[in-house]
Structure 1
Amino acid sequence: MIVLGIETSCDETSASVVSSNKKILSNIIYSQIDIHKPFGGVVPEIASRSHVQKIDEVIKISLKQANLSIEDVDAIAATAGPGLIGGLIVGLLTSKAMAISANKPLVGINHLEAHALTPRLTNKIDFPYLLLLVSGGHTQILEVKGIRKYKLLGGTVDDACGECFDKVSKLLNLGFPGGPAIEEAAKEGNENSIDLPRPMINHKNLDFSFSGLKTAVSNKISLNMNQQLKNNIAASFQKAVGDIFYKKIEKASDYFFKTYSFKPNIVISGGVASNEYIKKRLLDLSRLNNVNLYSPPKNLCTDNGAMIAWAAIERLFENPYICEYEIEVNPRWQLSGLNQ
């Protein structure tokens, strides 16, 4: 089975061809980082306009790199939500038109489920597993029971972690996107030099809060900050986030063990999963508990068409007759809505 996957939910225009034997035949990504950099964040109207300009070219290059035509693919998949509505419309309408004209089935993919399943593209992971899904728009701990079977164990009550990285980077004038900028600055900083809070770290539930951490960083900002102080704040901020994730996943693992009577595989996915420091903290936890930690390679952590194609393949394995020409975009489509 060969699927063409199209991703346009935020600021990447991507098309990828993936086979059911886990071969990524192409994965073309056009990033809008340089377009949004002057604004310090993603501007939705500019993002959707860029998707319109680039999507046909990206699809064409993806098929060419895979040495295939649209007639050679078995299905077309596109992100239907959640995400920025303008970008979602561009990707889904383009995919619908292609699928109908080529007489191919269309599979509408939940962007979060694609992140949740991507580690199964690059690793052999059985259900159930424990997932930390952490990106610019979402921070969630999930019990992944199967395709379209998710239980939300905890989520953010305010800012998403990736959003907090961007805002802290902006406060420190480190650049956009904030995740890589903070990670790079933190390498030259002292992670124990700045006292920062760990909001909700000792709460019994598995929820997160990042707005207080962001505010605490802003209170450390001075007019005469040198680069070393910025590095120290970046390192201390990153350590605070790492501490929070360590503690919450430790608690989630205990819940999982009580539920299933065996220790869970731990999976981290989403854009923030490309942060090597955070991955190392969770790797330390997994080794301590003698369990496996899985994460996609960096190029599959951030938004990409391959994860959309793979999520469609997973769904088609379960139901080979899926065809969703009638699906509409849903900018607020949550994983919990897939269980019905």
Structure 2
Amino acid sequence: MSTVRVLTSNREPSSTTNPYITMLTAALRRTPGVEVVTFSYRAALFGRYSLVHLHWPETVIGLGGGRRAGVLGRWVLAALLLVRLTVTRTPMVRTVHNVELPADAGRLQRALLRWFDRLTTHRILLNDRTESPGPATTIPHGHYRDWYTGPRSTMLPGRLQYVGLVRRYKGVEGLVEAFRSVADGSVTLGIAGAASTHELAATITTLADGDPRVTLRFGFLSDDELVATVTAAELVVLPYRFMHNSGTVLAALSLDRPVLVPDTPVNADLAAEVGPGWIHTFAGDLTRDALLAALSAAREPRTAAPDLGAREWTGAGAAHLAVYRAALSRAGSGVRA
């Protein structure tokens, strides 16, 4: 079979790239029959490729910040790319990381994102609970055991830790409020990760003010810093208001730390997959009682490490190539999802 030349929606991986993207790019480049072209507008608009593999389309259209002139320019370039893909009927594969449009997308941005959706030929789902309006294949999110290899910290009894990007839908404000009502002075809380806005960081800082048990660190974490931060925790707490897929859950599990997450069908499936004692859940708004109950449960005996055998990277490249070939075949038949 001929080589599939795939344009990915991510730029060439760097030290600050999402590790999932870096590991997937490496897996694809190890796979015979795949040639990876990482994203640039020059490559996207004028380059040669067989199909497009899209992850977070909002990054292509510049959602999330920047000077207004630059953002407007990216909207124009994204529209030109969409025109090219429409006219040439180039197939598009989309990995479904988020099931809803970004809350901060404006009218024009939503129109561009829906255009990407309409052009999608085949979807890659990270779990079997994700619904798809067209052809789809589930390829589970891989683990990070081979990625996060830096020095580990000694676990601090009573340490609750949030880690990852701090965005409003992730409920960090509610975590701080729930923690402030915990009377036990031996329980501490850490918040570590870059905040999406200065206003959100200021809100969380105000909520935590006056409690010396709360440690805030707003900013990018290097891989080694993330390893040190997560492994110092007795329990990683991800108080999301909505959670469907989460690489941070897998990062914590890859570092052998139990996690408190919302009670969802996806998280229930993950709990059954990795074994008892690793995934703890809360329903509704996060409360003091839920925090203390999860911390107590995390102290019960469990296996030395969660079972992540279903999330090895060895077959990821071949699984993606099979999807690419299915998308090309479908596009060649003149059928659009």
Q: What is the TM-score with the length of structure 2 in the denominator? A: 0.35
Of the two structures, which has the highest relative contact order with CA contacts closer than 8 Å and spacing of 6 or more?
Answer: 1
Of Structure 1 and Structure 2, which has the larger fraction of its residues in helix?
A: 1
Bigger Rg, structure 1 or 2: 2
